[in-house]
Structure 1
Amino acid sequence: MKRLLPLLLLLPALGLVPKRPVPGAAVPSGSVRHLTLRINGQPVAADTSSSRFFLSSDHALRLNVVRQDDPDGEGLTIIIDRFPVQAGSYTFQEILSGRNRDASYRFGPVAAYSKSCGQNTGSVVITGVNAEKHWLRGTYRCQVCEAGRGARRFTLEGEFEYPVEKE
């Protein structure tokens, strides 16, 4: 054992020790579909086979998160116009700057829109982009309100590591 100790101490200097992966730096495969949804803080299962992220030819990004208990429903739709396909924070407050950033939610009889809220708060934060493999990583958070009398306010949020399709 005493003879092996000097050799073990030399391994890092020789670069022969396996390096630990940096958290969050792993490149996902093309089939990665991690998607979460919380409504007013309560977790709701997202349907990863019905949910879709689309990027149109004019660079409008559309995130469509569908609930697992309503795979044929519209779910949550967030639109970011003129998405530059890069990491960054895209907030709904900038809707007046000429960039269309809004959200809508439909589930059963409930229809709510970010534009119906007094404050159009919300954001999509892109923390990872792989244009070659067509996926995005990040978080989303928005408030949507039912239109009309007795309107309820919903806060929808979650994380994603998801493929992006061409629209």
Structure 2
Amino acid sequence: MNRLLPLLLLPLLSLAPKRPAASPESTRQLTLRINGEAVKADTISSRFFLSEDRALRLNVVRADDPDGEGLTIIIDRFPIQAGSYSFQEILSGRNRDASYRFGKVAAYSKSCGQNTGTLVVTGVDATRHWLRGTYRCQVCEAGRGGRRFVLEGEFQYPVEKE
């Protein structure tokens, strides 16, 4: 009889409340590489914002510097759709800007002679307010003869209203 007791309890297990599994759409995924070297991103401090005038602002913060400025990418007049957004359009009147600060190094995309920044949005879930895609930009240390940094990564992240 003792061997049959677990079998008798089996139907009761199906009545127990089930915890919903975390869907891939609800998981925050954010990576950061600097000059090809992986750097842990802080998924709690990093934020993606969409303002009422549809300016998209991505702020990617390093885990080892949560109070730092991190990487900020702004896309003005974001159409809330998948596509490629190039930072070289700074001169076109649309606001494309990226900045990076770590320790004494300050880098800004506008200071590079050739800005190779691109934000590629591969997925948009407007009802759940999520974006998926990649970013890649080159930023330069402030001042003449400054070092160049290539910052890149992937994201699947919630977008908050600003």
Compute the TM-score of the two structures, normalised by the length of structure 2.
0.84
The correspondence of residues 101-112 of structure 1 with structure 2, limited to 5 A, is 101-112=96-107
Compute the TM-score of the two structures, normalised by the length of structure 1.
0.81
CA distance in 2, matches of 1:75, 1:147: 15
CA distance in 2, matches of 1:94, 1:77: 16
Residue type matched to 1:122 in 2?
G
How many residue pairs end up in the alignment? 140
Residue type matched to 1:45 in 2?
K
Alignment partner for residue 140 of structure 2, among 138, 141, 145? 145
**Alpha-carbon displacement from aligned partner over 1:28-64 (angstroms, at most 9, x marks no partner):** 12xx210000000000000000000000000000000
Residue type matched to 1:49 in 2?
I
Identical columns (%): 83
CA distance in 1, matches of 2:24, 2:138: 31
Is 2:70 the partner of 1:84? Answer: no
Is 2:17 the partner of 1:28? Answer: no
- 2:116–2:138 Cα contact (<8 Å) kept: yes
Please provide the CA RMSD for this pair. Answer: 1.1
Where 1:47 maps in the other structure, the secondary structure is coil
CA distance in 2, matches of 1:43, 1:131: 30
Stretches of structure 1 lacking an aligned partner (at least 5 in a row): 1-25
Is 2:47 the partner of 1:73? Answer: no
2:47 alignment partner in structure 1: 52
Residue type matched to 2:33 in 1?
R
CA distance in 1, matches of 2:53, 2:139: 26
Structure 1 residue ranges (4+ consecutive) displaced by more than 3 angstroms after TM superposition: none
Is 2:140 the partner of 1:163? Answer: no
CA distance in 2, matches of 1:130, 1:59: 15
Stretches of structure 2 lacking an aligned partner (at least 5 in a row): 1-22
Task: Report the CA distance between 1:93 and its aligned residue.
Answer: 1.1
Task: Report the CA distance between 1:156 and its aligned residue.
Answer: 0.1
CA distance in 1, matches of 2:24, 2:39: 26
